[in-house]
Structure 1
Amino acid sequence: MFQSFAERALALSTRGGAEYGECEKTMGRILPGDVAGWHREWTATAATVESWARQSDERGHRVSAREAYLRAATYYRVSYLPLFGAPVDPRLAGAFDHETRCFDRFADLAAHPMRPLEIPFDGGSLPGYLCAPEDGGTPRPALIGVNGYDSNLHEMYWSHAVPALRRGYACLLVDGPGQGRALIKDGRTLRPDWETVLRPVVDHALMLPEIDPARIAVMGWSFGGCLAPRGVSGEPRVAALIADPGQWDPSSFSRQLPLPDDLKERLPEVDPAELDPYLAGIADDPTLKWKLVQRALWVHGLDSLGEYVVELSRYRLADAVASIACPTLVAAAENDPTSAQAQELYDALQCPKELVRFTADEGSAGHCESWNRSRFDQRVFDWLDEVLESPGRTRATCGDHLTLR
């Protein structure tokens, strides 16, 4: 589990979000399974790198300062991953505040325009960032990022904004309910009706002069590969969709749980209390405990694993997929269990569509292609460039399907 958390930082090293030496030295100071030590040592590294950033900042060295602030933000974020759960650990909330401070200062010093946004939503607001090309006066095609379970808009910067900006796109990063600040500070938990989340985000995007209203794309990664298609199903103003990876019915994982066959057959029409006795052993495995007991229950605002198993049935896309009309790219990475249902989503789509597979041979296997995002960006943004090539583009007919393998 600690290895997977460290890799979350290391994957950012190719784009300036981390340095191998800083990560390696930090990991070397941590004993296996020592959660308190994990948080302490990653926080110590983050504070050191932040102090380097301030030294350069105070002397007017903008490039050095912003590079260090971005790395410090990464290390603060990684420090609190093992602390997930409700009620929110004060150490987690504090590290998130430090991460936000560093990222905000990075944004102030960035080479391209970046500005924080508050998007009105459900009596409050959702936090966002608009990242625009340097010549931001001309409306550009735009990418809206949809996050997953345990990330936030700061981490999405490297995965979504960096490749978008390099290609002349604007990028709007948002934390929805159950994500980032919306969860940690505002207590908003995840909801399946992502169309109600995406709609005000698109409303806001259409008011931004940097964004071409006819060329708005939506990309969801990790669990966002389920949320983004659901959101786009209720948002006709979106011109293109990317699901990374494509998902269909997240509740199908319950088939692998240690439940009696008769309970599995009755799902989701069961009392969660019937499931709980069979799921108690999950907490004996540290990784499953973190994924399901700490993370999932917190993100969904639930009290038991039985409730979680039943709740996931609300996230299936079968009832929404027919309403997705825009060209859609479905990604599937080898050795990523989350990609297992990408083919099912692709088959069910009735719009112009492509299925793009990423393989171990090209170094892009694994969850969200995190070890070769350059290959992911090449294939996905080349497709997106062609789909959004002009405001007056002629969309392909629903019969124009292509599968890339």
Structure 2
Amino acid sequence: MHTDVIFDSDGLRLSGALHLPSDLANGGQRPAIAVLHGFGSNKDDGMVRLATRLFSSLGYVVLRFDMRGCGDSEGELGKVLCEDQVSDTLNAVSYLQSLPEVDPGKIAVMGHSFGAAVAVYAAGVDPRIVACISSAGWGDGEIKLRQQHAAPGAWARFEAMVEDGRARLAKGQSVQVSRFDIVPIPPAMRGNLPAGSFMEFPFEVVESMLRFRPNAVVGNIAPRPLLLLHPADDSVTPTEQSIELFRHARMPAELHLFAEIDHFIFSDDSRAALNLVTEWLHKFFPARPAASGAA
């Protein structure tokens, strides 16, 4: 069960779904987790819903929400700028802090892919976020895009697209770019894209990704805990991106790579990943106080 909610982000109304644990007593407070959706997706993404179910079952207050321009939120459709999504995430934290059911000093963020990069950056610039989980995320937009366009001639085609986009924008022309010209996804994997995902984006999204570098701020998260998850062989977001995030991070940070799974880590079949996240939360960001009086 959830409650549909609306909260403000820089003058825009963002749409969310608030999930309260079933055993939360009247007047009680719990830690909260904001779950961030992926590239041009929305709060009804299957990965978002699965993570929400997991966190709710463990006793957390959970907020899943549509970033500006996505789902039911206000904003220019498909204009998913990294910096704007960081702002939306920080405003989601403010909203959670305002709720009587939430312990305002215990708010975490979790994101997947594009949302993971946003989660890491948000945690790196705002100490109100006391724990961060990144699933198949990335730390340097330009390097990531170079790695994703590594086939012969692919980067030259990408650069030509960027030059054309910049020239047309300078003339005041609107430019739309195909999702797969920005982030190539093998055809066999495209069925995993959530319903309602955007297939085209304004060119400004490309520029935003090129300049976005969570690596620059991930070290600021310490001494707050950081969990990095990534497939050992990811055909969408190169595994090296999470490895580099870990290299730039400071303790306590953990990096876990998973074999025989590709990009979309959170699924009912990924018991190893779900169990690891559960154990990490119990250790670093428990939903309830530890039982007292144990022998």
TM-score by length of 1: 0.56
- The answer to whether residue 116 in structure 2 is matched with residue 225 in structure 1 is yes
Q: Distance in 1 between matches of 2:71 and 2:181?
A: 26
Q: Distance in 1 between matches of 2:29 and 2:164?
A: 52
- The answer to whether residue 56 in structure 2 is matched with residue 165 in structure 1 is yes
- Following superposition of structure 1 onto structure 2, how do residues 287-306 of structure 1 map, counting pairs within 5 Å? 287=187, 295=198, 297-298=200-201, 301-302=202-203
- Following superposition of structure 1 onto structure 2, how do residues 141-180 of structure 1 map, counting pairs within 5 Å? 141-155=31-45, 156-180=47-71
Is the Cα contact below 8 Å between 1:334 and 1:366 reproduced in 2? no
Q: Distance in 2 between matches of 1:195 and 1:256?
A: 28
Q: Distance in 2 between matches of 1:331 and 1:221?
A: 9
Q: Distance in 2 between matches of 1:150 and 1:259?
A: 23
Per the alignment, residue 8 of structure 1 pairs with none
- Following superposition of structure 1 onto structure 2, how do residues 26-65 of structure 1 map, counting pairs within 5 Å? none
Residue of 74, 77, 82 corresponding to 1:187: 77
Change beyond 3 A, Cα 1:122–1:365 = same
Per the alignment, residue 38 of structure 1 pairs with none
Deviation (angstroms), 1:287:
4.7
> What SS class does the counterpart of residue 377 from structure 1 fall into?
helix
Per the alignment, residue 331 of structure 1 pairs with 229
Identity percentage of aligned residues:
25
The superposition leaves residues 85-113 of structure 1 with CA deviations (integer Å, 9 ceiling, x where unpaired) of: xxxxxxxxxxxxxxxxxxxxxxxxx3xxx
- Following superposition of structure 1 onto structure 2, how do residues 120-131 of structure 1 map, counting pairs within 5 Å? 120-131=8-19
- The answer to whether residue 214 in structure 2 is matched with residue 314 in structure 1 is no
Residue of 233, 242, 247 corresponding to 2:133: 242
Task: Give, as a single letter, the amino acid of the residue that structure 2 aligns with 1:229.
Answer: V
Task: Give, as a single letter, the amino acid of the residue that structure 2 aligns with 1:154.
Answer: D
Per the alignment, residue 53 of structure 1 pairs with none
Is the Cα contact below 8 Å between 2:35 and 2:65 reproduced in 1? yes
> What SS class does the counterpart of residue 44 from structure 2 fall into?
helix
> What SS class does the counterpart of residue 216 from structure 1 fall into?
strand
Residue of 368, 374, 389 corresponding to 2:265: 368
Q: Distance in 1 between matches of 2:8 and 2:267?
A: 32
Is the Cα contact below 8 Å between 2:114 and 2:137 reproduced in 1? no
Residue of 233, 245, 268 corresponding to 1:345: 245
Deviation (angstroms), 1:379:
0.2
Q: Distance in 1 between matches of 2:186 and 2:137?
A: 27
The superposition leaves residues 108-134 of structure 1 with CA deviations (integer Å, 9 ceiling, x where unpaired) of: xx3xxx211111112221111110111
Q: Distance in 1 between matches of 2:276 and 2:69?
A: 30
Root-mean-square deviation (Å): 3.7
Change beyond 3 A, Cα 1:367–1:335 = farther
The superposition leaves residues 340-397 of structure 1 with CA deviations (integer Å, 9 ceiling, x where unpaired) of: 211011111124100012222xxx454224362432221012101110238999xxxx
Task: Give, as a single letter, the amino acid of the residue that structure 2 aligns with 1:144.
Answer: A
- The answer to whether residue 105 in structure 2 is matched with residue 214 in structure 1 is yes
Per the alignment, residue 256 of structure 2 pairs with 356
Higher percent of residues as strand: 2
Structure 1: 5+ residue stretches without partners: 1-109, 394-405
Q: Number of paired residues?
A: 262
- The answer to whether residue 202 in structure 2 is matched with residue 202 in structure 1 is no
Is the Cα contact below 8 Å between 1:149 and 1:178 reproduced in 2? no
Change beyond 3 A, Cα 1:391–1:149 = same
Q: Distance in 2 between matches of 1:244 and 1:128?
A: 21
Residue of 139, 142, 155 corresponding to 2:29: 139
Is the Cα contact below 8 Å between 1:232 and 1:324 reproduced in 2? yes
The superposition leaves residues 199-219 of structure 1 with CA deviations (integer Å, 9 ceiling, x where unpaired) of: 211111011122222221110
Deviation (angstroms), 1:236:
0.7
Residue of 256, 263, 266 corresponding to 2:150: 256
Is the Cα contact below 8 Å between 1:182 and 1:188 reproduced in 2? no
Deviation (angstroms), 1:148:
0.7
> What SS class does the counterpart of residue 187 from structure 1 fall into?
coil
Higher percent of residues as helix: 1
Q: Distance in 2 between matches of 1:282 and 1:157?
A: 25
Q: Distance in 2 between matches of 1:142 and 1:236?
A: 15
Of 364-373 and 209-218, more deviation after overlay is shown by: 364-373
Q: Distance in 2 between matches of 1:263 and 1:389?
A: 44
Higher normalized contact order (CA 8 Å, seq sep 6+, divided by chain length): 2
Is the Cα contact below 8 Å between 1:198 and 1:232 reproduced in 2? no
Is the Cα contact below 8 Å between 1:215 and 1:238 reproduced in 2? yes
Q: Distance in 2 between matches of 1:308 and 1:207?
A: 31
Task: Give, as a single letter, the amino acid of the residue that structure 1 aligns with 2:21.
Answer: P
Of 168-177 and 207-216, more deviation after overlay is shown by: 207-216
